[in-house]
Structure 1
Amino acid sequence: MDILALDLGTSSVRGLVLDADAVPRPGALARRKVHLVTGDDGSGVLDGPRYLACLAECLDELAAAGHLRDVELVATSAQWHSMLPLGHDGTPLGPVLTWMDTRPEPVAGAAGPTDPDAFHHRTGAWWHRCYWTMRLPWVREHCGSPVARFAGLVEYALGELLDEAPMSVSMASGTGLLDLRLLEWDAEACELAGVRPEELPPLAPQRWRGRLRAEHTQRWPQLADARWAAPVGDGAASNVGSGCVDPSRAALTVGTSAAVRLVQALPAGAPLPPLPEELWRYRVDHEHVVTGAAYSSGGNLFAWAARELRLPSGAELEAALARTGRHLTLRANPRLGGDRPPGLAPAGSGELRGLSFGTTAVDILAVLMTELCRLMADDLALLEQGAGEPAEVVLGGGAMAASPWWRGAFVDALAPRPVRHQRNPEIGATGAALVALGRIAEAAGVSGIGRTDDRDTPNTVALRPPR
């Protein structure tokens, strides 16, 4: 049996084929870049139909190369918080709002939760522009057409491909509308959002499986009998793919954005543990939750600096970073894209202080990267308070793979914690596959994790027995 793992990200959509042990098949990867449209007004949107076309192109490429012929299970990692309005026939009435969009604000006369602390504990979220509680009323006001229902990007895409596409509890938890204990739409959150349950996707039951629509089996006959698992939020999937599936090990992931997270077992119906007011909590699946903090800056910070500051690349850049040291007199605010919840800083909040005629472009990159390390280290300390002991940290994500210097900066910021590096660049897709297989606990033994300065650790995710 093979597994097709889809990763529906902000900057790209990817499809890769793994074997029954979630080990990638050599060469079985298709990727398409997607165009995220951002503006000075705080917009951050994607074109839904074009995104779906990119996903279809990935499936076409894998099918043409024969990689789909033994696929029996399809797993999906998808970006949390995305949202788009749909008409009665399922046609998008506007673009996809991504997590980067900071425009939504309360409509006139709107009030927040009656008890914000209880609301945060129950939903793991806040009344904030990132969540559907604030996004849906704002979109209705600006849409220009009556909205029949709302969906996330993954529900829209899979809704076009499958017989049905309910929303997984993992994706629903990222909307801010889900009661994390009862695993049902929260009445107060829906009232804040001005939405009725029938305007939201139905929630997928545990161990739900979907199937490709009959009209699509002609295009992808290899997937005619494959079962599709409920999607997993990208952050949760990244933790599982990094081997961070209990409170002894935290995942610090830097892709387009960045996050630090801890997973713990918590079955549906069990009382929710205390949640620090600065942290969010979502669902991995019906049996696990993930708690953490996220940042609008990550690999996009690196990409912006490389483009606008005309930096060198590769070994030349690494050598230049090493010469700067990590104790610069510069100070910076890396929030170029604004705050993720619960922060309210808008896009355009980045700052540099202490510039001199001796400041170089590499110095600017170094201080931006270092300040993000410090922010994440501070939030990890909050996570550890709930876990009861300092955690081992596993660095992961494409930006971590690209820069040994940045990995070293994280080691300094996170000291004295042990810090390791997961070299597998597809941790989201791998994690989604392991969730779909019901092998979350076994992910603690995932391989590919090595020293932060090790360039030669095998890029594999074969499973070892759990620690």
Structure 2
Amino acid sequence: MNILALDLGTSSVRGLVLDADADPLPGALARRKVHLSVTGDGAGTLDAAAYLAGLTECLDELAAAGHLRDVGLVAVCAQWHSVLPLDRAGDPLGPVLTWLDTRPAAAPGASGPTDPQDFHRRTGAWWHRCYWSVRLPWLRERTTGVTRFAGLVEYVLGQLLDDAPMSVSMASGTGLLDLRRLDWDDEAVALAGVRPGELPELAPMGWYGRLRAGHARRWPQLAAADWAAPVGDGAASNVGSGCVDPRRAAVTVGTSAAVRLVQRVPAGTPLPPLPASLWRYRVDHEHVVTGAAYSSGGNLFAWANRELRLPEGAELDAALARVAPDGVLAANPRLGGDRPPGLAPAGSGELHGLSFSSTGVDILAGLMTGLCRMVADDLAVLESGVDAPVEVVLGGGAVTASAWWRTAFAAALAPRPVRHRAEREIGATGAALVALGRVPDADRLAGTGRTEEDPSPTPTVRSGTSARSDAPSTR
């Protein structure tokens, strides 16, 4: 049996076919770029219909090439936090708000949780613009005819499958889920102003979906395939990196970036202590993932490459290698604002120390340095909740594209051991392993056996240097 893995990302939608051990099959990959609309007021939106069209094109391409012939299971990983309002017929009433959108704000005079610390412990989230507790009231004020709300993956799968409930993993990213009970949290739902029937149904453990009859005729190879409950992209990336226990943390850099650690916490069991500055979501009914995320990652290079007339390829690598450690510009990489719990709006990026001799490469190095330092600081907090320092696995298209950036991260995260997971499609691989129920095996199937240890940083490279990323992937 082969596995079709769908990765519903921010910069692209991808479909790839893997074997029964979640190894990608050569050539069995289809990808469509998607247009993320970003404006100066903090908007970060996607067109839901266009996104669905991109996914169906990927399926058509894979089917035409014969890659779907032996698929018996479909696994999905998708971006957390997205939301769009739907009408009675299930059609979008506006664009999809992504994790990058910083516009939502609580109404004047609105009050948050009665006990913010207990709210954070239960939901792993905060009363924050990134979560549905703030996003739904904000959307309702600006949208008429709302019947229900859904995330991007629930909308897409709702168009393809007979039934598309929300997985506990995706529900945890809304900030409305009680992570221990695995049901909607009463206080969070009240803060969101939710009315009966407006939230998606929650998928029970062991749920599988099937294609609608019309789509089964279009892709007959998938007519009998089981569709597993989707996994949040960050959780899937940890599993795909082999980081599935407290000994090993994943640092993933794609369009955005994150540092995360997975622990086994079955539904109904007490949750481990949660540091005040970190979030916690669900991988599945058996595991939680704790960490920090950043709105900057490969998009930093995309911006710099577009605006700063950088050299290309080996010329850029050589230019970065010449950046002196004591000459790196001080930079705040929050061009897209903060992820929770931070409140910095889009447009908060800063540069200090510019001179007439400063180059575009210097600016890029400074921005990447800033991200390395943010990750290092949050990893120290993450380690405070476990018994010992962790090993770090770097992954995602952005760091895979750049040996220099990997070296910079290794320097910033020293003295911890730092390895690199070279496979670009770690999110899709992780989603497949979750769908197979093989999360405990991930450190063997997708982890240490396939990582490569990068050389230790040279004396001239420290956390104040970085490199390019031209292949954003999973966040």
TM-score by length of 2: 0.94
* C-alpha distance in structure 1 between counterparts of 2:125 and 2:348, whole Å: 23
* C-alpha distance in structure 2 between counterparts of 1:5 and 1:148, whole Å: 31
| 2:402 paired with 1:403 | yes
The residue number in structure 1 matching 2:241 is 242
The residue number in structure 2 matching 1:180 is 179
The residue number in structure 1 matching 2:153 is 154
Residue 199 of structure 1 aligns to a residue in which SS?
coil
| 2:440 paired with 1:441 | yes
The residue number in structure 2 matching 1:129 is 129
The residue number in structure 2 matching 1:119 is 119
| 2:326 paired with 1:324 | no
* C-alpha distance in structure 1 between counterparts of 2:316 and 2:344, whole Å: 31
Mapping 1:376-395, distance limit 5 Å: 376-395=375-394
The residue number in structure 1 matching 2:78 is 78
Residue 408 of structure 1 aligns to a residue in which SS?
helix
Shift of 1:313: 1.8
The residue number in structure 2 matching 1:309 is 308
Residue 135 of structure 1 aligns to a residue in which SS?
helix
The residue number in structure 2 matching 1:289 is 288
The letter for the 1-side match of 2:31 is R
* C-alpha distance in structure 1 between counterparts of 2:287 and 2:326, whole Å: 39
Shift of 1:92: 0.4
Number of matched pairs = 453
Work out whether residues 262 and 291 of structure 1, in 8 Å CA contact, stay in contact via their aligned partners in 2: yes
The residue number in structure 1 matching 2:208 is 209
The residue number in structure 2 matching 1:452 is 454
Shift of 1:135: 0.1
The letter for the 1-side match of 2:114 is T
Mapping 1:37-48, distance limit 5 Å: 37-48=37-48
The residue number in structure 1 matching 2:463 is none
Q: Which moved more, 1:419-428 or 1:402-411?
A: 402-411
Give 5+ residue unaligned stretches, structure 2.
457-475
The residue number in structure 2 matching 1:224 is 223
Superposed CA deviations along residues 139-195 of structure 1, whole A, max 9, x for unmatched, are 00011x121000000000000000000000000000000000000000000000000
* C-alpha distance in structure 2 between counterparts of 1:433 and 1:313, whole Å: 35
Residue 307 of structure 1 aligns to a residue in which SS?
helix
Shift of 1:256: 0.2
The letter for the 2-side match of 1:448 is R
* C-alpha distance in structure 2 between counterparts of 1:208 and 1:78, whole Å: 17
The residue number in structure 2 matching 1:93 is 93
The letter for the 2-side match of 1:6 is L
Shift of 1:453: 4.7
Superposed CA deviations along residues 28-64 of structure 1, whole A, max 9, x for unmatched, are 0000000000100000000000000000000000000
* C-alpha distance in structure 1 between counterparts of 2:72 and 2:237, whole Å: 22
The residue number in structure 1 matching 2:263 is 264
The residue number in structure 2 matching 1:462 is none
The letter for the 2-side match of 1:136 is L
The residue number in structure 2 matching 1:465 is none
Shift of 1:197: 4.8
Identity over aligned residues, as a percent?
75
Residue 138 of structure 2 aligns to a residue in which SS?
helix
The letter for the 2-side match of 1:440 is V
The letter for the 1-side match of 2:292 is A
Distance 1:216 1:371, change over 3 A: same
The letter for the 2-side match of 1:278 is S
The residue number in structure 2 matching 1:418 is 417
Shift of 1:109: 2.6
The letter for the 1-side match of 2:347 is G
* C-alpha distance in structure 1 between counterparts of 2:204 and 2:315, whole Å: 51
Work out whether residues 86 and 150 of structure 1, in 8 Å CA contact, stay in contact via their aligned partners in 2: yes
The letter for the 2-side match of 1:351 is E
Work out whether residues 280 and 291 of structure 2, in 8 Å CA contact, stay in contact via their aligned partners in 1: yes
The letter for the 2-side match of 1:449 is T
The letter for the 1-side match of 2:266 is P
Shift of 1:196: 2.9
| 2:344 paired with 1:340 | no
The letter for the 2-side match of 1:367 is G
TM-score by length of 1: 0.96
Residue 368 of structure 1 aligns to a residue in which SS?
helix
* C-alpha distance in structure 1 between counterparts of 2:178 and 2:25, whole Å: 38
* C-alpha distance in structure 2 between counterparts of 1:440 and 1:11, whole Å: 26
Superposed CA deviations along residues 222-242 of structure 1, whole A, max 9, x for unmatched, are 000000000000000000000
* C-alpha distance in structure 2 between counterparts of 1:220 and 1:367, whole Å: 48
The letter for the 2-side match of 1:450 is E
Superposed CA deviations along residues 87-126 of structure 1, whole A, max 9, x for unmatched, are 0000100000000000000013311000000000000000
| 2:62 paired with 1:62 | yes
Work out whether residues 124 and 281 of structure 2, in 8 Å CA contact, stay in contact via their aligned partners in 1: yes
Superposed CA deviations along residues 428-452 of structure 1, whole A, max 9, x for unmatched, are 0000000000000110112321022
* C-alpha distance in structure 1 between counterparts of 2:62 and 2:327, whole Å: 47
* C-alpha distance in structure 1 between counterparts of 2:175 and 2:63, whole Å: 37
Work out whether residues 181 and 267 of structure 2, in 8 Å CA contact, stay in contact via their aligned partners in 1: yes
The residue number in structure 2 matching 1:166 is 165
* C-alpha distance in structure 2 between counterparts of 1:132 and 1:388, whole Å: 34
Work out whether residues 4 and 68 of structure 1, in 8 Å CA contact, stay in contact via their aligned partners in 2: yes
Let me know the Cα RMSD of the aligned residues: 0.9
| 2:107 paired with 1:110 | no
Shift of 1:402: 1.0
Work out whether residues 234 and 428 of structure 1, in 8 Å CA contact, stay in contact via their aligned partners in 2: yes
The residue number in structure 1 matching 2:459 is none
Residue 134 of structure 2 aligns to a residue in which SS?
helix
Work out whether residues 250 and 391 of structure 1, in 8 Å CA contact, stay in contact via their aligned partners in 2: yes
Work out whether residues 185 and 197 of structure 1, in 8 Å CA contact, stay in contact via their aligned partners in 2: no
Q: Which moved more, 1:254-263 or 1:301-310?
A: 301-310
Shift of 1:325: 3.3
Q: Which moved more, 1:195-204 or 1:400-409?
A: 195-204
Shift of 1:361: 0.9
Residue 26 of structure 2 aligns to a residue in which SS?
strand
Give 5+ residue unaligned stretches, structure 1.
455-467
* C-alpha distance in structure 2 between counterparts of 1:108 and 1:386, whole Å: 36
Residue 327 of structure 2 aligns to a residue in which SS?
coil
* C-alpha distance in structure 1 between counterparts of 2:293 and 2:75, whole Å: 24
* C-alpha distance in structure 2 between counterparts of 1:319 and 1:6, whole Å: 36
Work out whether residues 433 and 439 of structure 2, in 8 Å CA contact, stay in contact via their aligned partners in 1: yes
* C-alpha distance in structure 1 between counterparts of 2:261 and 2:344, whole Å: 25
Work out whether residues 329 and 365 of structure 2, in 8 Å CA contact, stay in contact via their aligned partners in 1: no
Residue 383 of structure 1 aligns to a residue in which SS?
helix
